[in-house]
């Protein structure tokens, strides 16, 4: 399982490390696949989605934000995000993207919001060792909970995924230091969707999300009209991603712990990383060192229709023995 905390594509191997009952694993895989299916719409109509979220800081401060999405199937969609001084409107149509934005790179909190909504789907792979499936209560609801270890290099995480015994959807995901709790489900387009998502990291509450979805009944043409003073960006007909040329890692220490810090930034036309921010960190005291080091990385820039182009990307720095 990668540090970005996504369990990768489903792989059932014939030989599994550690002790694992293959029948328990088969049942866990089936249970999780059914849960993912239960919260995946059969056929989406024209829709309006509204997410309101609160972010809790270490200083007890609370920051609020909103995300809205209007979709006209087969025609396009309009997204708008507001969080602090970050404000973006994106209108996608077959002609391309028209956008207004206060800055290019989204705050880490917005990236977390987009990852967790409408619901965070996961699946098991060869790094996951299933131990048990237990019946227990999760926030007042009966659930079946899959207990498993994820082995990634020198690290092993004791993780858990719980599935609601009634509606079949995922209600809890403990993945390394992350805890995602889904509740207040509603039905939409043949799926059960959480109306409330609580997100914690390393035991501290970080975000609460409230979301709604409803069929769009007034899909007038101006819904997808370009915002005033918008930039027009064409979709690339041919695209070549950025490739690293020099990506130095931190110097190893003398301790016994390996630590990862994940950052996001823009790889610009000059091949350098600009506007980098910390996306997730096991050790906040290493963040400044990670940001200083990432500025030394050099890439061959991305190519859009044969021209150098900026692109957003994530970067992982490995602190060995720190």
Distance CA 147, CA 129 (A): 9
pLDDT at 136: 94
SS3 at position 231? strand
Dihedral angle, C-alpha 262, 264, 265, 267, nearest 10 °: 80
Those residues whose C-beta lies under 8 Å from the C-beta of residue 103, and which sit 6 or more positions away, are 86, 275
Distance CA 164, CA 303 (A): 45
In the chain, the domains with their CATH numbers are 1-234 (2.50.20), 239-319 (3.30.2420.10)
Those residues whose C-beta lies under 8 Å from the C-beta of residue 69, and which sit 6 or more positions away, are 47, 48, 49, 77, 78, 79
Q: What is the pTM of this model?
A: 0.85
Which two tokens mark 74?
A: 């087969």
pLDDT at 322: 87
pLDDT at 213: 97
pLDDT at 19: 63
pLDDT at 60: 77
Half-sphere exposure of 283 (CA within 13 A, CB side): 16
Eight-state DSSP code of residue 90: E
pLDDT at 10: 33
pLDDT at 3: 38
**302 in Cβ contact with 240 (< 8 Å):** yes
Q: Tens of pLDDT along 164-182?
A: 999 999 999 999 999 999 9
Scanning the structure block, which residue is given the tokens 């015994």? 165
Low-confidence stretches of the chain (pLDDT < 70) are: 1-19, 219, 221
Neighbours of 8 (CB within 10 A): 14
Dihedral angle, C-alpha 255, 256, 262, 265, nearest 10 °: 30
Distance CA 220, CA 133 (A): 49
Q: Tens of pLDDT along 291-320?
A: 999 999 999 999 999 999 999 999 999 998
């Amino acid at each position: 399982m990668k540090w970005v905390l996504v369990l990768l594509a489903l792989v059932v191997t014939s030989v599994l490390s550690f002790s694992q009952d293959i029948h328990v694993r088969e049942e866990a895989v089936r249970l999780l696949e059914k849960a993912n299916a239960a919260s995946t719409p059969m056929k989406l109509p024209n829709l309006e989605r509204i997410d309101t979220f609160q972010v809790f800081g270490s200083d007890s401060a609370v920051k609020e934000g909103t995300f809205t999405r209007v979709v006209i199937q087969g025609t396009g969609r309009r997204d708008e995000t507001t969080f602090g001084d970050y404000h973006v409107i994106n209108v996608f149509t077959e002609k391309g993207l028209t956008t207004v934005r206060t800055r290019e790179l989204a705050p880490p909190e917005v990236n977390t919001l987009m990852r967790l909504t409408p619901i965070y789907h996961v699946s098991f792979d060869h790094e996951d060792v299933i131990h048990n499936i237990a019946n227990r209560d999760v926030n007042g609801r009966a659930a079946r909970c899959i207990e498993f270890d994820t082995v990634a290099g020198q690290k092993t995480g004791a993780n858990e995924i719980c599935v609601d015994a009634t509606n079949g959807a995922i209600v809890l995901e403990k993945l390394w230091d992350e805890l995602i709790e889904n509740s207040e489900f509603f039905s939409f387009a043949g799926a059960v969707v959480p109306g409330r998502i609580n997100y914690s990291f390393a035991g501290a509450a970080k975000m609460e999300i409230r979301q709604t979805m409803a069929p769009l009944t007034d899909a007038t043409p101006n819904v997808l009209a370009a915002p005033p003073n918008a930039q027009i960006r064409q979709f690339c007909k041919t695209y070549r991603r950025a490739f690293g040329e020099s990506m130095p890692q931190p110097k190893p220490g003398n301790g016994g712990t390996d630590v990862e810090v994940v950052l996001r930034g823009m790889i610009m036309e000059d091949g350098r990383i600009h506007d980098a921010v910390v996306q997730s960190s096991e050790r906040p005291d290493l963040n400044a060192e990670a940001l200083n080091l990432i500025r030394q990385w050099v890439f061959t820039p991305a190519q859009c229709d044969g021209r150098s182009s900026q692109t957003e990307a994530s970067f992982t720095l490995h602190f060995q023995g720190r």
